[in-house]
Structure 1
Amino acid sequence: MTRTTIVAPLFLLLVPIVLAANATDTNQTDVDLTLLEAFEIEKRPFHGWSAWSEWSGCSRTCGSGVRHQLRRCLGKECAGESAKQQLCETDRCPENAASFRQVQCSAYDNQLYRGRIFDRWIPTDGDPREQCALHCRSQSHGFVVKLAPKVVDGTDCSLNATSDSAICVDGKCLAVGCDGMIGSGRGRDECGVCGGNGESCGRPVFVWQETYQFSPCDRSCGSDSWRVSVSVCMNSKTQRVVPEKFCADKERPRPIIEKCLHIVCPAE
């Protein structure tokens, strides 16, 4: 019996190895290019803001607290603010609750201050230029000290405030608009509407009103002497005189002119 030996050509055996090597080189090249591109992107300066953070917790549990949201500038310069504030927990505190300033002063009760312990601190007005610092008075000794450079955010700027029209935020006194937004600048119009233009009332708010308050006579004597009365712009709800610009869209009545009594001049 004749034995037949089949010998595969050498190049056929090497083909898979060569192909695998080429495939590996190609994949490695793609990976290297991807890493290089990522490295180049990382080196490029990025300008702009990061995303806003989550809102912080509220500084108070009632009465108008403040919460914050922050973002970080990722470049050298960024236009805009890095922080914003928002009112929270705006429900009124119980009527018999201590004021928020009192709570903060009381935190120093029976604490060591300048080598002595004082039993009770009471909130008081301090330097008008430091509305948002914590000034407290010793109940037993009567002297006033600044116990903290800043009150807690959400504290009224004024000790005897009757509304939350201005509150302290980061040591600064900021106005609160009628919309409940810090620094919005919105106020109520003459009709009591927040941000309104005064046109929602049932009758015109600003009107020209005759006063019949005459000027002095233009001459102290003689037959040809006159005096005049001019109308004023008035808020019809409050009956108060306001600047004439509020009545600019309405026709102004003509001045009332009267002849003065004839007073004989000494020379006549």
Structure 2
Amino acid sequence: MGLKGTLAFLLVIVSTTLAIQERPCEKYGEYIRDVTNRCFYYRCMSDLSSVRRPCAPGTTVPDDYIGDYESNPQDANPCHGPNLPCGGTWTPWSEWGECSVTCGGGVQYRTRSCPAGGCTGPSEMSRACNTDPCTTIGPWSDWSACSTTCGTGTQTRTRTCSGDCADVVTEETRDCTENIFCVDPWSDWSECSVSCGVGGTRTRTRTCVGNCEGVSVTETEDCNADPPYCVSDWSEYGDCSVTCGIGGTKIRTRVCTGICDNVATQESESCAADPPYCVTDWTEWGDCSVTCGVGGTRIRTRECTGICDNVATQESESCAADPPYCVGPWSDWGDCSITCGVGGTQTRSRTCDGDCDGVSTVESRSCDADPPFCLGPWSTDVETPCSVTCGNGTKTHTRICIGNCDNVVTEEVRPCVTGVPCFLWTDWLNKDTPDTIDGGDPGGDGDYEIDLNDPCGKGNFAAMKAECRTVGTHIPHYEMYVGVDPTPLVVPCLKIPMGLVCANNNVPNGTCADFEVRFLCPNNEAFHARSRAFATVIEGGPP
């Protein structure tokens, strides 16, 4: 009971005590009224005293009633109405209210009321609630002093905890380094990093212990070798500057690095080529001295510079004309060897004088008849397969054409019907529910209708199409969550990856609808091996 209820209860006790009058029980079970014009009821007690109570609910005192129990306690009952029990009636207790605290011991209340008045007992009741102790964690203390004055040590900090502190860390440790360091003397300088030339370096070091940040433990300085340059060995002499004749030079070199003033890096000497003359390539052979047949000659030349004694600059050889024969004109072409279609032959001839070995004196060529083609009959339906194994296709009928078949129709395309559907729908599949994990253990964070173990069959092509709807109500997925941003449908009914994903944390009420999925699959052995029932047959191909 709260303070408000306690005060109300005390007021009822005081007012009731002031109004009570002890009277004999002459009017037992009847009602009278007092001088304040209030109606009361006398009830006999064991000690023959009486307790005054108001008129029963539903009764009234007539306006013309004149009575006073002080002067005439034997007056008849002034209250008109049913002779109901004395006192009022409480309403049922309300539900317990919210606890005043969440931990550490609080209070919760429930109440009742007395609409007609005259009820006895409290109108409010209280009880203890949330008595489990609260967990209270204090702030971290400052870090302690470092455990060492030189080098790396440790320092700790703590905090207090009261209540359920089983999993609460109350002490932490970390490494620390004081701003103190120790260094050894510098070592001697190392040898110069180069044995000749310039641009070398040498170093010296020292050891530091402690917080050595910003403390140099290595020093480096430039140094030069003696002599202050480096030279490689001389290279072999290069080729003579001329490839033929005399008066050339050849050179050898070496590399110098460092301070190379007055250091020679190139030497040269005179040389002669081998042979000591230069000749050009031979010219092409000139024309044969005869234009037809054999028995002619032809000449070629070259130029020579340098010491050209005994160097030939001209050559000759016998030749035949090109061609080494003389032939007469070709005769007219003879008649074609066939009278229909193509693939015939016709010939012509000529005469030959001279070296006629391998010279053709007869020629033949292909020729066509007029008309230059012959046609066979059209192929039959039995001989011509349909272009598809399912749905609607075409048959291509053909006929044979021999000869020059340009602009001759040898193929006709006619429609054909297989009577076999190319694609079938799977059953509606429901792998998961929004409040479970893969349709099993509780604790799911959405509806995952994906990874459905090859719904079109192992090794089959991916589904041509996917459809998604709610279970039971059959609402299409695209009519769900219109205007919700971000959309809960994080995978919005795709054929690759297969299915749909709805995330609970994007749904206004915190839970996705339960979806089911079906797939449009190729009608083949892999699909039938999945033992799935077929719903809708799509003729010809996917929509």
The TM-score normalised by the length of structure 1 is 0.23
**Structure number with larger C-alpha Rg:** 2
The TM-score normalised by the length of structure 2 is 0.14
Identify the structure with bigger relative contact order (alpha carbons < 8 Å, sequence gap 6+). 1
